[in-house]
Amino acid sequence: MKRFAALYASIDQTTSTKAKVEALARYFRAAPEDDRLWTIALFSGRRPRRLITATVLREWAAEKAGLPLWLFEECYPVVGDLAETIALILPPATTTSDHGLTHWIGHLKTLSAQDDASRKAGILAAWDSLPPTERFLFTKLLTGGFRVGVSQKLMTRALALATGIDEAELTHRLMGNWTPETTNWHRLIEVPDPTAALSRPYPFYLAYGLEEPDQITPVGAWSAERKWDGIRGQLICRAGSHHLWSRGEEVMTARFPELAVLKDVLPAGTVIDGEILAHDTNGPLPFATLQKRIGRKTVPKKLLVEAPVILMAYDLLEAGGADIRQQPFSARRKQLETLCASLPSDLPLRVSPQVPFEDLEALARARIESRDLGAEGLMLKRLDSPYLAGRKKGDWWKWKVDPLTIDAVMIYAQAGSGRRANLFTDFTFAVRDGDSLVPFTKAYSGLTDAEFRDITGWVRKNTQQRFGPVRQVTPTLVFEIAFEGIQASPRHKSGVALRFPRMARWRQDKPAGEVNTLEDLRQMLAQFG
């Protein structure tokens, strides 16, 4: 664990991307192969499942440190991270250990099969043999919440530097349903398993938000289509089987069984990039309909009827087994249209229609119309663009509709975590309903650090009551809340739920008595829900 802890410290102590890449590359050159593999897995989201609840860990740590639980609970919000709090409050280790990362992950798997008493003894013994940084990392693995300041793209760049393998090739190799238990370093990195390629998707091409419409010039060099509100996915049909992958590298094949029919009609060696949409004979359905199926491994027949789906095809990445991503978008699009035109019309597959436009004014009008059509805005693609990997600027842009907004008053505040552990950043907001205030959403982003510091000072002076880490505050601060969508929700007191709420601005010009009402929310639900 010492080598992995040293890597973590190197990454944690710098904001330099170059320094992080170099530290990772040194690690990948020197660490044992099984530790390298687990490091890649951890940094790409393939974490061990949570073994112990946070509540139990707090109790055990407080007991080991000889602290009353209430004192631990007071320390926790100040530190802002459970694993770090435990690492700091535990007494110094009385033994030492030279075991590596792979050993400790194996230890967790062993503990998972034991009873509570044995599990507790094993965890306490581990804490007692590890210095603070290693203890912190071990506890992170226990909680299943392992995160460091390293993106998968940055890790892949470092891996390319260490191995001499092309970064794009490595990106492709690291996608798919692999774990350190199902492969090894040699097969995954040096000599990839050829059978794994049958189910492996291509890295997704992602767009940045459009900054200036003038970037779409000359207009004749660009294509426009709707940015549909669903789940981005790749449908892979190879060797008589099909696989459906999300952008987050999650296998969704069993979740959408109605798409299985496509493997029988699409040519072998076909990969389509598109959007999984709730869709009936009248067109796209609200995202809330699709949401009923998110998180399910299998789908009952009733839900298949209530929330039917299609694949709205955006792009063709592989045709006849050949990777065509380097062809211009216009050529890939033509092949996609030809392919889909040859198929029966009743299949759960559509080609995303292109939006005609003669100038930027027409494009702007089309963007405004998107919400009425169940779309989030427009996707703009240069006709000669290849299909790249990751988020790039220049060839593809997303131009979303302006968010919906509503003015609300803050009623609860909670401190953040990590570097914002000493700031109040998590807030609950309410709208008026007659003389009462009705909570309707939480938000924790959208403001600057300076604004969060000002609000933190205000919260400390205007706290009415405390409920653990949550403070009830005087309802006087007004904020404009922006969100992407609204839907009915019987689970919320307000009767509505917002999609991607955030604080757009602090309305210091507006008194609390002038915030929006519950009726305003209901009208927005009727119009946009």
Q: Is the pLDDT of residue 175 over 80?
A: no
- In 3D space, the residue among 281, 314, 277, 313 whose CA is nearest the CA of residue 293 turns out to be 277
C-alpha triplet 509, 513, 519: angle, nearest 5°: 115
Mean pLDDT for 58-73 is 88
Is the pTM higher than 0.85? The answer reads no
Cα(316)–Cα(89) distance, integer angstroms: 55
Class of domain 205-400: alpha beta
The length of the chain in residues reads 529
Strand bridging mode 424-433 / 404-415: antiparallel
What is the structure's pLDDT at 443? 92
Considering the four listed CATH numbers 2.40.50.140, 3.40.1110.10, 1.10.3720.10, 3.90.78.10, the one that applies to the domain covering 404-528 is 2.40.50.140
Q: Which residues does 179 contact at the CB level (< 8 Å), separation at least 6?
A: 41, 46
Nearby residues of 439 by Cβ (< 8 Å), 6 or more positions away: 411, 412, 428, 429, 430, 493, 494
Architecture of domain 2-143: Orthogonal Bundle (1.10)
Which residues, 6+ apart, have CB-to-CB distance to 49 below 8 Å? 144
Domain spans of the chain?
A: 2-143, 205-400, 404-528
The lowest-confidence range among 26-35, 75-84, 119-128 is: 75-84
Q: In the prediction, which pLDDT does 41 show?
A: 87
Closest CA to 406 of 470, 496, 338: 496
Report the alpha-carbon distance of residue 422 to residue 430 in Å, rounded.
24
202 Ramachandran zone, left/alpha/beta (phi>0; psi -120 to 50): beta
Phi-psi region of 325 (alpha: psi -120 to 50; beta: other; left: phi over 0): alpha
Enter the DSSP assignment of 214: G
**DSSP SS3 for 491:** coil
Helix, coil or strand: residue 309: strand
CB 214 within 8 A of CB 232: no
Yes or no: say if 126 and 88 are a contact pair by the CB < 8 Å rule: no
Indicate whether 193 pLDDT > 70: no
Q: How does pLDDT run across 297-354, given as a tens digit for each residue?
A: 678 889 999 999 999 999 999 999 999 999 999 999 999 999 999 999 899 999 999 9
Rg of the Cα trace of the chain?
26
Structure tokens at 266: 């699409």
pLDDT band at 476 (very low <50, low <70, confident <90, very high): very high
- Rounded to the nearest integer, the mean pLDDT of the chain is 89
